[in-house]
Amino acid sequence: MRIVFKTSYDRDIDLFKHGPQAFWYGLLVVIMVALPWLLSEFFLGEIINVLIWALAGMGLMILVGHTGQASLGHAAFLAVGCYANVLLQERLGLPFILSFPLAGLISGVVGALIAIPMTRLHGIYLAIGTLAIAILTEDLIVIAEPLTGGISGMFSPNITLFGFEIERYSTPEAFYWLTLAIVIGVLLLYRNLLRSPLGRAFAAVRDSEVSAQAMGINIALTKATAFGMSTAVTGLAGAMMGHFAGFFNNETFNIIISIQLLLMIVVGGLGTIHGAFFGAIVVALLPQAIALSRDFLGSTLGLGSIAIPGLESALFGLILIGFILFEPMGIYGRWLKIRTYFELFPFYRRDMFRRQKSYLKTERMR
Amino acid sequence: MDVLQLIVSGLANGCVYGLIALGFVLIYKATEAVNFAQGDFMMLGAFITLGLTNAEYMGLPFWVSVPIAILIMGVFGYLLDMLVLRRMFGQSQIAVVILTIALGFVLRFAAGAIWGHEPVSLQSPIAGKDVNLGGLVLGLDEVLVVIVTAVATLLLYFYFNVTKLGVAMQAASQNQLAAYYMGIPVKRVHSLIWALAGAVAAIAGVLFASKGSIDPSAGLLGIKAFAAAVIGGFGSLPGALLGGLIVGLIEPFASYYIAAGYSQIAPYLLLFLILVFRPHGILAQVHRKKV
């Protein structure tokens, strides 16, 4: 157990709690930067996929994990970011370096505008409202065919950055570094947001709206800001997803993606940035893990290649049910418990992370 | 005549939505949880009936297999609550939502693995017959759907407002701890309501399957039924039916009068407008939150 001796109030909002923590995260960054020399192209592609999902997960985490507003419609903002990015490049001829942040901005503004009526809704109603938006967006893409290509979809152009041509297949390393740089940039912004008064306001709104209001926080404004920031980051992820996939249409960002995003951050661990990354690793690598184990089982048992449709989502569902029942704090929560166990060894108590039991009271009929 | 035909088919569809929405509302009314897998319950109920009835599976008579299917779904609901959802006691609503979404994935996979992913039709004696009502020819299935739904809604409405168990269920929802102090077995009440929701889903499934074919992804219809429940006012049984009927009626009229592509967004657009202007539905049950 490390005891951090704080000598000023500013230490409370330091980026890293203590030196060794900074060292380990620094080491992680170094390894991540060096990854293209360590992995084959196939695995590098998978890592890019994980990073993009983590980016989208961070976007949703701002809203769900830190502001406590459930959203089942974030695929809509992935779509807004993706289409805005490609359309700005193709129709207006903007370079990637302009179109990418603009795509995030557009997505954020759209999200904040939608949030204005939505902030009146609570819990389950909010989830439904955002679900409706996701479904509407899917249909709107088809309706706005002259702009979006409708069902026949669109191809994303190659990224041109400072004179370099970046494409997923011909220059995977460059694509990887670009994604990594974006993820680290957003990560720093997110960390700083949490250390700022606005981030604290988000957490206050999550924990108790009434108390937050009593502390002088404008609830509606805070929620709308959280929505805007969340959808902006998700829009950035959508833009990268478009470039990564190469082709997209109305079905690329369907309702299942929204649900998967929400499930992902729950598996990772709600309310922590780590959770977005752990969840992304599970979601992005699960299909590959299933495929690999299927091949392995097929060859060892002599069954040939077995294909079971829908296995992936069912397995994901089972994992999720397991997590909600046995580890509601997600993978990161489990990691925290394991770490505390070893740090306090042999003084870890079972009840250390137990939450107080709460009983439901209805919001209807008072 | 065209308009009348549209109204009847809309009503029949709306009643199926209404029945699924009833399942949502039942569970919400009694446990304050939202079962996102209700549509998949419906799908499962339909498939169980199909497995019992169709000649290539069990080949039981239709009128024997329907009660058995309803019973099986009831037991399924009870066990589901007892074994899985009871552990969620006292956790947030969103956790239950996520759990049931995941459950929907699993049920869809299970149904696909057992009965295949191709659309199949239920061999029911209702399908394909006509009733002549004074010159107006209607499908027997459509008439039956409307009648069954009306009866089911009435029964459930009286059940909740008159019977002792129904009132106990309302009490358990309003304040779990206080209800427990009053001697209401809150946990068993919850399991019973899940059983009831399962049974209602089975009825909806049978009616849905007799109107057409069924496949494992039919559960996604639940999203539309959900919209119906919210439009009508979550937590109100007549509201669920009303919402179902509205969504059911909007669909055929929208696809008849509005260009294709625009028509399918009509129910969701209505949902969005309702949420913005009357957030708790037409028959609202929510009043301003007190501290």
Backbone angles phi, psi at A164, to 5 degrees: -90, 140
Nearest C-alpha of chain B: how many angstroms from A339?
A: 25
| pLDDT score, position A134 | 86
Report if residue B139 sits inside a domain.
yes
Report if residue B91 sits inside a domain.
yes
Evaluate if residue B291 carries a pLDDT over 50. no
Nearest C-alpha of chain B: how many angstroms from A282?
A: 15
CB contact (8 A) between residue A70 and residue B32: no
Between A200 and A128, whose confidence is greater?
A200
CB contact (8 A) between residue A132 and residue B90: no
Query: Cβ of B259 under 8 Å from any chain A Cβ?
Result: no
Say whether B214 sits in a helix, a strand or coil: strand
Contact B237, B29 (CB under 8 A): yes
| pLDDT score, position B287 | 54
Chain B residue with minimum CA distance to A310: B109
Mean pLDDT of B220-240: 82
| pLDDT score, position B11 | 85
Distance CA A130, CA A54 (A): 21
| B98, B177, B279: residue with CB nearest A120 | B279
CB contact (8 A) between residue A139 and residue B102: no
Residue linked to tokens 């009490």: B171
Mean pLDDT of A176-183: 91
Residue A278 is part of which domain span? 40-351
Chain B residue with minimum CA distance to A208: B291
Closest CA to B25 of B161, B197, B195: B197
Evaluate if residue B288 carries a pLDDT over 70. no
Q: What is the mean pLDDT of chain A?
A: 84
Looking at chain A, the whole-number percentage of residues with pLDDT higher than 70 is: 93
Chain A residue with minimum CA distance to B262: A143
Domain count, chain A: 1
Report if residue B291 sits inside a domain.
no
Domain count, chain B: 1
pLDDT band of A183, cuts 50, 70, 90: very high
Contacts of B279 in chain A (CB under 8 A): 120-121, 125
Sign for the pseudo-dihedral over CA of B69, B18, B192, B161:
negative
Evaluate if residue B178 carries a pLDDT over 70. yes
pLDDT band of A304, cuts 50, 70, 90: low
Chain A residue with minimum CA distance to B228: A128
Evaluate if residue A216 carries a pLDDT over 60. yes
CB contact (8 A) between residue A263 and residue B109: no
Distance CA B270, CA B267 (A): 5
B188 to A19, B30, B165, B197: CA distances (angstroms): 54, 11, 11, 14
Backbone angles phi, psi at A165, to 5 degrees: -95, 125
- Its pTM stands at 0.85
Range of lowest pLDDT (A98-102, A155-159, B143-147, B259-263): B259-263
Q: What is the mean pLDDT of chain B?
A: 82
Mean pLDDT of B171-190: 85
Residue B11 is part of which domain span? 2-218
| A121, A262, A321: residue with CB nearest B275 | A121
A200 to A212, B51, B59: CA distances (angstroms): 10, 55, 63
Pick from B94, B99, B220, B287 the residue to mutate for testing the A interface (most A CBs within 10 Å): B94
Nearest C-alpha of chain A: how many angstroms from B159?
A: 19
| pLDDT score, position A51 | 93
The number of residues making up chain B comes to: 291
CB contact (8 A) between residue B93 and residue A328: no
Question: Which of B:68-87 have CB within 8 Å of A?
Answer: 84, 87
Looking at chain B, the whole-number percentage of residues with pLDDT higher than 90 is: 10
Contacts of A140 in chain B (CB under 8 A): 265
Evaluate if residue B198 carries a pLDDT over 60. yes
Evaluate if residue A169 carries a pLDDT over 70. yes
| pLDDT score, position B257 | 79
Distance CA B45, CA B202 (A): 4
Query: Cβ of B187 under 8 Å from any chain A Cβ?
Result: no
Distance CA B143, CA B154 (A): 17
Chain A residue with minimum CA distance to B275: A129
List residues bridging with A166 in a β-sheet.
A159
pLDDT band of A365, cuts 50, 70, 90: very low
CATH number of the domain within which A324 lies: 1.10.3470
Evaluate if residue A190 carries a pLDDT over 80. yes
| A135, A325, A364: residue with CB nearest B286 | A364
Report if residue B224 sits inside a domain.
no
| pLDDT score, position B212 | 77
Contacts of B265 in chain A (CB under 8 A): 135-136, 139-140, 143
CB contact (8 A) between residue B103 and residue A321: yes
| pLDDT score, position A1 | 63
| A133, A325, A357: residue with CB nearest B90 | A357
Mean pLDDT of B25-49: 86
Query: Cβ of B112 under 8 Å from any chain A Cβ?
Result: yes
Between A30 and A153, whose confidence is greater?
A30
Pick from A256, A313, A363, A366 the residue to mutate for testing the B interface (most B CBs within 10 Å): A363
Chain A residue with minimum CA distance to B34: A124
Range of lowest pLDDT (A324-328, B261-265, B268-272): B261-265
Report if residue B235 sits inside a domain.
no
Chain A residue with minimum CA distance to B99: A321
CB contact (8 A) between residue A364 and residue B95: no
| pLDDT score, position A306 | 58
Distance CA A105, CA A236 (A): 9
Neighbours of A226 (CB within 10 A): 28
Tens-digit pLDDT profile for residues A31-74: 988 888 888 888 888 889 999 999 999 999 999 888 888 888 88
Looking at chain A, the whole-number percentage of residues with pLDDT higher than 90 is: 22
Contacts of B93 in chain A (CB under 8 A): 123-124
Task: Quote the DSSP letter at residue B175.
Answer: B
Between A230 and A15, whose confidence is greater?
A230
Report if residue A265 sits inside a domain.
yes
Report if residue B273 sits inside a domain.
no
Distance CA A28, CA A17 (A): 16
Distance CA B20, CA B42 (A): 7
Query: Cβ of B289 under 8 Å from any chain A Cβ?
Result: yes
Tens-digit pLDDT profile for residues A83-142: 998 888 888 888 888 888 999 999 999 999 888 887 777 777 788 888 888 888 888 888
B187 to A65, B31, B178, B257: CA distances (angstroms): 29, 10, 13, 49
CB contact (8 A) between residue B265 and residue A321: no
B39 to A316, B102, B237: CA distances (angstroms): 19, 13, 17
| B102, B230, B275: residue with CB nearest A321 | B102
Contact A70, A263 (CB under 8 A): no
Neighbours of B190 (CB within 10 A): 25
A327: left (phi over 0), alpha (psi -120 to 50) or beta: beta
pLDDT band of A328, cuts 50, 70, 90: confident
Q: Could you give the ipTM of this predicted complex?
A: 0.80
Nearest C-alpha of chain B: how many angstroms from A74?
A: 15
pLDDT band of B290, cuts 50, 70, 90: very low
CB contact (8 A) between residue A136 and residue B216: no
Range of lowest pLDDT (A117-126, A219-228, A247-256, B122-131): B122-131
Contacts of A317 in chain B (CB under 8 A): 101-106, 109
| B112, B265, B275: residue with CB nearest A310 | B112
- Alpha-carbon Rg of chain A, whole angstroms? 22
